[in-house]
Amino acid sequence: MKKKFLIDTHMHTAEISSCGRIPAAELALRCRSHGYDSIVITDHLNQEFLSRLPFNDDWDKIIDHFLSPWEFFDKFGNEILIIQAHPFRDGNETVFPECIHGVEVYNGNPRHNNYDHKALDLCAANPQFYRLHGSDIHCDGDFGRAWMLFDEEIPDSHSFHAAIKQNEYSMGHP
């Protein structure tokens, strides 16, 4: 039987994400010990980082500093894969379908209601969307809650992008 390559596509490091509790190097080692061949780090901005910007906590200026979803998609949409994680978590309804390539349809985080069924409904209404699963690792106990399997090794983000676009993967969760 041919080897499948196991990837987790959603985790946060202690160094960047305020919600992450495991340092990046340890996270990588622990993912390897859980059988993952590759991982995708999905750190997000935090208050400490934003406070270092020269905008004196003026949120309008901070938001203007970054591209809008439409500007970002127009600028990078042909070069990178844009997947919205847990698009309906805890009642969030802010989704810009015209600015993404797909959504996380299963999020393994046990501390949130992710309304994964709404993500599946969004994909049904947008059949061109790619569907992904992710454990959403923040701390101990979050490993192995979701995965993606690939027939070929995924050594970098370009290979991941190509495999997703060619639908060369399957997904699972416990």
Quick one: pLDDT at residue 159? 94
Pairing of strands 147-150, 83-84: unpaired
CATH (one of 1.10.3720.10, 3.20.20.140, 3.40.30.10, 2.40.50.100) for 5-172: 3.20.20.140
Q: In a structure prediction context, what are the per-residue pLDDT tens digits for the chain, which is 174 residues long? A: 778 999 999 999 998 888 999 999 999 999 999 999 999 999 887 777 677 778 877 877 777 777 788 888 998 898 999 999 999 998 888 899 999 999 999 999 999 999 999 999 999 999 999 999 999 999 999 999 999 999 999 999 999 999 999 999 999 999
CA distance 106 to 63: 29
**Residue indicated by tokens 């906590």:** 57
